[in-house]
Each structure stands twice: as structure tokens, then as C-alpha cells.
Amino acid sequence: MTVAPIDLPIDDQDARRIKRGEAQLETPLRRTKRRLTSRWATAVAILIAIAWTIPTFGLFISSFRPAQLIQTTGWWTIFQNWGWTFDNYAEALQSGNSQLNMAQAFVNSFAITLPAVLIPITIGMLAAYAFAWMDFRGKNILFIGVFALQIVPIQMALVPLLLLFSKGTIFGFPIIQAIGQAGYAQVWIAHTIFGLPLIIYLLHNFVSEIPGEVMEAARIDGAGHGQIFFRIILPLTTPAIAAVAIFQFLWVWADLLVALIYADGAVAPITKLLAEMTGSRGQDWYLLTAGAFIALVVPLIVFLSLQRYFVRGLLAGSTKG
């Protein structure tokens, strides 16, 4: 036995009110979506993407062209002046200074970047959880101080930090003696110090968005801070951690300023070696283009392979519940 639906009579005035209410609820969302997906917005986005990609594409083409063609013709004339070689990359990997070549500098970049991402992310997650879900005296003042550190220019801290690394003492107390001869350690510490304020601030925004009911239920079940952190906070904030880690990875990998000051000798990354090659071999464009693309390929792979985590992480803190 089936029951037919009953059509309730609705006059024109009620229908207009219902439509008006739906319009009031849906108009902002639809309006924003319409603006972002309009033909003009799409055309502008495509033009910006093309303009942003052209230099990278030109760098890629030039890195495979023979040295004579690079010096006499532009990369956009590749079809009129055809030439293709892998010798640029082979020579670029072996070029460098008396202490290391580009292949070794490429390995140094990984040795610097990976710990310089893991260390501040680990400390930042613990600090973000403490600021968001733990009560202690002076929490708000301390968080404001961490937030204020973001506006301090890195250049102001470079020389004091270098003196600390060289002396190893603070007000006469030995803190980190002989760290200047510790290889990668001073670069890791520098990147951790410079990256922590922003990392703590971003992760705090994500961690604080976790519903309080989830935390209360865990406490009622007898979970302590350690269990809550590892079993609840980390799984729920994985996209956010991935997004912040991508930011930190790209910043450390492409950094030159910190490398120039703290990474000397055989621990120099590829960015510092490229800067030295620009000064000493400025006319060898075939080596510079190949070396630049070698340094560029890793950030491209990281960003493109982890793009979905990056987008999910950016959207993770945009809504509650």
C-alpha cells in the first residue's frame, strides 16, 4: 500500500517568501562561486599562469641547448636553431669550487632541508597544542610574543646568532660551544629559529579548530595529553602539517641568505654554489641554466606530488566542525 504525497496549498506570497529566503541563503555562496568561475576570471588566471610559466619553460629549454646556441640565439628560436644536448647537465654536476661540486651541493641541500623541516614542525606542533588546549600561567602573553617575532626581520638576528655560534656562550655561560665547527648543526638551528614563529602560529590556528567535545570525550575516557596529542591531534591535523611542511621545505631549499652566512665549505647547499657560479662563471649560461633547473626540479616535484595535501591543509582551518 502506497500513500500519495499531499500537496499543501501555498499562495503566491508564501512562494515569493520561500524563494526570497533561499536567495538570501544561497546568494553569497553562488555569487562568490560565479565570480571565481566566470569566463573573465578563468581567462585572467590562465594568462597569469602562462606568464608565470614562461621563464621556467625558457630555463628548461636553455638547459638542453649547446653553449654556442645559447650565446648567439634566444631560447624562443629553438625551432629555427635546433640543438639538443645532455652535456650541460653532466658538466654542471661536476662544476663547483675546490671544496665541492654541484652534485655534492645537491646532497647537502637535502641534508640541510629535511632536518630543518622536521625539527621546527615537531617543536611547532607541540607548542601549538600547548597554546590551544593546555592552561598555564602567562599563556596568552607568551603566544603574543611568539606572534610578534614574525615581524622581526631575519637580517637583525643574523649577526647576533653568528656571534653566538662562534663563541658558544651567553653572558659567559657555555651554551653551544664549538657549534661553528659542527657542520650542518648551525644551519638547522638557524632555520628552526627563523621558521618557528610562523609555524607555531599557523599550526595553532588548525589545532584550535578541533571541536572541544572531542577533547572532553577523550579526557572523560582517561586520556592524558600524550594520548590526546598522538591519537587525536596528529591524525586530525595531518593535512595542515603537510601544508606547513611544504611551506618550510620550499623556503629552506630556496634559501640563500642563511646559507651564505652559516653554511661554509663542504656543507654549502646548491643555492650558494649557484650564486658563486654566477660570479665566477657568469658567461657560462649553459652551466647556469642546467644548474638552476637541477635546483628547481626538487621543489617542483615536492609541490606537484603533495598538492592535494597542500590544498586540504589550507582549507582545514577555514571551517569549524
The residues spanned by each domain of the chain are: 91-316
128-164 pLDDT, tens digit per residue, is 999 988 888 888 899 899 888 888 888 888 888 887 7
Residue 192 confidence (pLDDT) above 50? yes
Q: Dihedrals φ, ψ of 96, to 5°?
A: 160, -145
Q: Which of 313, 320, 321, 319 is nearest to 203 (CA)?
A: 313
Lowest mean pLDDT segment, chosen from 42-46, 90-94, 126-130: 90-94
Residue 75 cell numbers, joined: 631560447
Lowest mean per-residue pLDDT among 22-26, 75-79, 219-223: 22-26
pLDDT at 177 (0 to 100) = 55
- Would the pLDDT of 40 be above 70? yes
pLDDT of 166 over the 60 cut: yes
Q: pTM value?
A: 0.76
Q: Of 113, 187, 197, 119, which Cα lies nearest the Cα of 153? A: 197
Average pLDDT, whole number, for the chain?
79
With cell 578563468, the residue in question is: 42
CB atoms within 10 A of CB 201: 19
Q: Does 55 have pLDDT greater than 80?
A: yes
Instruction: Indicate the pLDDT class of residue 319, thresholds 50, 70 and 90.
Output: very low
pLDDT (average), residues 277-284? 66
Mean pLDDT value of segment 15-32: 52
Give the burial string for 205-225 (b: 16+ CB within 10 Å, else e): ebbebbeeeebeebeeeebee
Architecture of domain 91-316: Orthogonal Bundle (1.10)
